[in-house]
Structure 1
Amino acid sequence: MPPDARARRASFRKRLASGDLILAPGADSGMGASLVERAGHECVYMTGSGVANKLLGKADVGLLSLTEMAMMVRFLVQATRLPVIADADSGYGNAVNVMRTVEEYEAAGATGLHLEDQEVPKRCGSIAGKEVVPAEEMAGKIRAALNARGDENLVLIARTDARGPHGLDEAIRRGQLYAAAGADMIFPDALLSVEEYAAFARAVPGPKVFNMGGYARKRTTPKIPLGQVAELGYCLVLFPLASIRAGIRSELDFLVGLRERGTEFEVEHLRELEGHAVENWYEFTGISDIRALEDRYLPAASVAARYTNSAGHMPGED
């Protein structure tokens, strides 16, 4: 576990206690997490959909395992100093499996994680066709998760996906049950209107999570101004795929231009990057940090020999 993981959790707990809204953009990799920090945000959300989409190139339908997801948690935590709230899907099994999931995510350094009440295999919460386990079974998963955590500041979030298959009243009932089971935060996913989010917040006690998701052409969940989200009674808002989709759009557009026009297109693109943080990609991705470590720990003579009369980008150059 990263040495500062406990400190991140304690700090995040204090931040939650303030009641002020926390914005957590989604990230699917260590680079993604570092970008969230570079942009000045205070929290990272490891999106399960984003990881599945980018790592596998497939839809988010429960194809990744606990081992793969815990590995990604570790990558994100090591790439940023920010708290990382991680998607733990349905816990990868029953209550017994959930206990290992919590242990692995905690060992990887997660600040918090959310578990959902979908049947296995799960699917992205904004997509139709979801099925949920009995509410009492999910309550048992929550109790098991609480017993499995070693650090009481690890934030355990219970998500209900019941709105799609069973309606708002059942989602509210489950939110109340999961809060009573001891979940630190309650996460109603894929509600359909501002009014539904307001009704849920009024009926369900404790801190709550708002998912600013929904990435189809037709909106399935409302896009609400952040001030209104806070007024409704939510204290953590997730933007799971927003920046990831923006990045994929830019990448795809670039690749089409490269296919059509070749080197000339890339040269034009490089002109557009002048003065941007990514213009010098090697420095952006930390080669100067590596050089500093070499100077600190490797024999000085060998480092000097490595770089003397060596062609290529010299770490530290603009």
Structure 2
Amino acid sequence: MTTAANPGALLRTKLNERRGLLVPGCGNALAARVIESLGFEAVYLSGAGLTNSFYGAPDLGFIHLGDVAQHTAAVRDAVQLPLIVDADTGFGNALNVRQTVRTLERAGANAIQLEDQVSPKRCGHFSGKAVIDAGEMSGKVKAAVDARASADFLVIARTDACAVHGIEDALARAERYAQAGADVTFVEAPTGIEELRRIARLPCPQVVNIVIGGKTPALAAEEFGRMGFALVLYANAALQGAVRGMVDALGRLRRDGILAEDPAVVATFAQRQALVQKDLFDDLERRYAG
């Protein structure tokens, strides 16, 4: 299979360039369609975005493997982009991680992100996090690597130790997880430029996660690329933009009692139908009409 036809191989190639690949997150297939339509090169299924939009709950470990698998399959069906899936802690121990990888790879993921938080996890930019022993996490990484069916299915190992034990422990954990087989590592929630520079110098490709309103300094993707980061993640920019848009549109409806098709406030009917490929289904209906 060529790289062009293999989203996992394509993603690996892009990350190995370490040019600050800009990747937005989605919480559902419709958001993934928007991301693809705007020309982004990959999409990330966000655990926080899924929890917020599917359950209306905070990112405190409420989702389970079935939720993630269902949405992975829906996103895979909706877009052609390489798909990175946030699988939180892997939903248990190393054996659970094995099952998680097998399930999500079959559902259409091209990469999985695992983190070393104690379960139930919490958002990486929340207070009160705790992390498991680095040896236990290394075993989970090994289980993930062994479980994948394709060598082009990437394992991204995230550590939340920076906020718990400091940057030195976080860097040491990232290196240990890479030695265990992780293709990419991810030090969550660094709080300063010097910490970011140190992370970017780690041997394997690195993720930087920009949470709007969070703890990590926001720089342009090009600047992160110059530092050496492989992937610049905006996991919930789409969600926060959607919330703002819903509040604005429904606030006007509540105030005025009417809401016209104003492109400054809402997507038009035609834009919405184009996004969900209504024309394609019209064509299919005509083709199969008896």
TM-score (norm 2): 0.94
| Greater shift in the superposed pair: 171-180 or 17-26 | 17-26
Q: Alignment length, in residue pairs?
A: 288
In structure 2, the partner of 1:298 is 289
Contact 1:73 1:109 in 2 (8 A): yes
Per-residue deviation at 1:238?
0.5
Deviation at 1:287, TM superposition (A): 1.9
Match of 2:220 among 218, 225, 237: 225
Q: 2: distance between equivalents of 1:222 and 1:35?
A: 26
CA contact (8 A) 1:273 1:279 kept: no
Amino acid at match of 1:124: C
Matched with 1:307 is none
Aligned identity (percent) is: 36
**Where does residue 257 of structure 2 map in the other structure?**
262
Q: Does 1:122 align with 2:113?
A: no
Distance 1:276 1:90, change over 3 A: closer
Matched-pair contact (CA < 8 Å) for 1:278–1:284: no
Could you report, residue by residue, the CA deviation over 1:168-203 in whole angstroms, capped at 9, with x for unpaired residues? Answer: 11101101111111100000100111110111223x
TM-score, normalised relative to structure 1: 0.86
Closer/same/farther in 2, CA of residues 130 and 297 from structure 1, 3 Å limit? same
Q: Tell me, in whole angstroms, the C-alpha distance in 1 between the residues paired with 2:135 and 2:265.
A: 57
Superposition pairs of residues 77-92 of structure 1, within 5 angstroms: 77-92=76-91
| Cα distance in 1 between the residues matched to 2:222 and 2:271 | 37
| Cα distance in 2, alignment partners of residues 10 and 54 from structure 1 | 30
Give CA deviations for 1:270-303 in whole Å, capped at 9, x if unaligned. Answer: 133699665453344222111111122232xxxx
Rg bigger for which structure?
Answer: 1
Supply the AA of the counterpart residue of 2:249. Answer: F
Q: Aligned to 2:205, which of 204, 207, 215?
A: 207
- Conserved 8 A contact 2:11-2:82: yes
RMSD, matched Cα: 2.0
Inter-partner Cα distance in structure 2 for 1:275 and 1:88: 32
Task: Tell me which residue corresponds to 1:14.
Answer: 13
Alignment correspondent of 1:304: none
Q: Does 1:250 align with 2:245?
A: yes
Q: Does residue 238 in structure 1 map to residue 236 in structure 2?
A: no
In structure 2, runs of 5+ residues without a counterpart are none
Amino acid at match of 2:189: A
Bigger drift between 70-79 and 117-126 goes to 70-79
Contact 2:163 2:189 in 1 (8 A): yes
Tell me by how many angstroms 1:256 deviates: 1.5
Q: Which amino acid aligns with 2:204?
A: G
CA–CA distance in structure 2, aligned partners of residues 92 and 128 of structure 1: 21
